A and B are shown apart, each in its own frame.
Chain A
């Protein structure tokens, strides 16, 4: 039982972080905070991938003499590129927030809906 919990703790924390990010995105009206929620969601996915790539007692995947066991390099590559793409898309979201502020004078979602008479 203890082994099971320790063996799945990483995944559960990743899911917890994912849900925290999800909750922030759907329940908060401030656009900057929504983007931070999206970022937390994103980090939780990174965490899940890297947890899967880890091998108990393995070394970092740089081939060295005398080391036989390495962790899996493939998820590292996927996440490495995803982090840089993530910051570029976050910047795009923040740029949209700046334009919304200039157009509506607010970054609160309900005030924007009020001005548009939508919702």
Chain B
């Protein structure tokens, strides 16, 4: 499969579009359908397509497994961290209203950060799972 010219050209054309779409879904989730869960899955689908066409070694050079593990934990920590910050600012856990000057601004910032944490975490966990499966066959 790695020498299939048509697949390589089409994949090179498609992957940037998929990544841009994933970012759109991530940051436009407040106003249209979308959010962290979907964006993470779509972004990981782009990397999975890359892996299927160009091979596991090339994909692991772009995103090393150690970085992925770091990202997965960072996503969850970002979520928990937003909650801890709201406690220190005087609110309840995950009460975003205290993050900004007004309630709306605070909620907006909180939702954005939390969705970002979800997106990063889902993206890295999906890729960790896929890389584990794909790397198993090789000795």
State in angstroms the CA–CA spacing of A95 and B105 once bound together. Answer: 43
Residue picked from A62, A80, A91, A94, most chain B C-beta under 10 Å: A91
> A67 at the A/B interface (Cβ < 8 Å)?
no
Q: Contact mask A6-28 → B, CB, 8 Å, 1/0?
A: 00000000000000000000000
Q: How many A-B residue pairs have CB under 8 A?
A: 23
Contacts of B90 in A (CB 8 A): none
The minimal Cβ–Cβ distance linking B26 to chain A, given in whole angstroms, is 14
Across-interface contacts of B82 in A (CB, < 8 A): none
Number of B residues near A (Cβ < 8 Å) is: 14
Q: Chain B at the A interface: mostly helix, strand, loop or mixed?
A: helix
Q: Are B125 and A62 in contact (CB under 8 A)?
A: no
Q: Answer whether A62 and B37 are a contact pair too, CB < 8 Å, given A88-B125, A98-B133.
A: no
Q: Which residues of B contact A91 (CB under 8 A)?
A: 129, 133
Identify A81's interface contact among B37, B40, B126, CB under 8 A: B37
Interface residue A84 (Cβ < 8 Å from any Cβ of B): yes
- What is the number of residues of chain A that contact chain B, defined by CB distance less than 8 Å? 12
Q: Which of the residues A84, A87, A88, A94 comes within 8 Å of B133, measured between beta carbons?
A: A94
Are B129 and A88 in contact, CB atoms less than 8 angstroms apart? yes
Interface string of B113-139 (1 = CB under 8 A from A): 000000000100110010011001000
Residues of chain B touching chain A, judged by Cβ–Cβ distance below 8 Å, are 31-33, 35, 37, 40-41, 122, 125-126, 129, 132-133, 136
